[in-house]
Amino acid sequence: MNILVCIKQTFDTEAKITLDNGLVKEDGVQFVLNPYDEYAVEEAISLKEKHDGTVTVITVGPARSEEAIRTALAMGADEAIHVEDEAAFGDEFTASEVLAKVIQGLTYDLILAGNQAVDDGSGQVAARLAELLGIPHVATVVKVEVEGDAVVVHRDAEGDTEVISAKMPVLLTAQQGLNEPRYPSLLGIRKASKKPIEKKTLADLGLNPTDVASQVMVVETYLPAAKSSGRILEGETAARVQELLQELRQTSKVL
């Protein structure tokens, strides 16, 4: 069973975000394997242990993304592909087009990815990728069972659970609760440091920068406005209600 896992390196969720001239500063920031992608990697390794096969992780990103790849390899992934080409770094359109080109040259039964990345939270790449590959896609998966050439998955459906069966190949995105990602062992870390990572550029994939140019332009990046402390309204109930309405209409402008 050949399993591919699309991963991304993101900011540590505990990192403090600071801006410099409208750009997010990366100085001193800890980068990690996207938490949702950890669930995907863990599920891929668990399925490999049950059904044999190989797990290959794929990412598109700068040189520092190799840290996330090494984490996945230390967890138990077998192989890795890293598209390290600045022209391949763009929006969700760019990422899905590049990943599709990489995957079209591979043999696979199952593709796993995180439900979303914690940095942009768009949740678009997996759906776009499945469309480009012409395979089924099931999102927010919390349970996976392989039955012959099919998978039966349970997916989180806004507080309820849907059970879906799909023929492989299929792309699934991992939701929190799918599993508990393992910690890489010392032996796993040592092995991961020796595993080769296949590097690719757009030229290797037969793509030109114009083929995958971003379709979205970031106009402005800013931090949320600082919240002021709450205020306790005093006096008779009728007067407080009137004062509250006035605040909501004139100050907060939510009515």
- In-domain check, residue 222: no
- In-domain check, residue 243: no
Other beta carbons within 10 angstroms of residue 59's beta carbon come to 26
Q: Which of 174, 17, 168, 4 is nearest to 81 (CA)?
A: 4
pTM of the full structure: 0.86
- In-domain check, residue 245: no
Q: Residue 133 maps to which CATH number?
A: 3.40.50.620
Q: How many domains does the chain have?
A: 1
Does 229 score more than 80 pLDDT?
no
Asked if 84 and 69 touch (Cβ cutoff 8 Å), the reply is no
- In-domain check, residue 246: no
Tens of pLDDT, residues 70-114? 999 999 999 999 999 999 999 999 999 999 999 998 999 999 999
* 221 or 193, which is more confident: 193
- In-domain check, residue 244: no
- In-domain check, residue 235: no
Residue 145's domain comprises: 2-212
Q: Which DSSP state fits 183?
A: P
Asked if 155 and 142 touch (Cβ cutoff 8 Å), the reply is yes
pLDDT at 159: 80
Q: Which helix (H) or strand (E) holds 186?
A: helix 186-194
- Specify the amino acid at residue 176: Q
- Average pLDDT score over the chain: 92
Tens of pLDDT, residues 31-69? 999 999 999 999 999 999 999 999 999 999 999 999 999
pLDDT at 21: 80
Tokens of 78: 């077998």
Tens of pLDDT, residues 172-207? 999 999 999 999 999 999 999 999 999 999 999 999
Compute the distance between CA of residue 54 and CA of residue 107 in angstroms, rounded to an integer.
Answer: 11
- In-domain check, residue 231: no
- In-domain check, residue 241: no
**CA distances for 18 relative to 10, 22, 105, 224, angstroms:** 15, 9, 40, 12
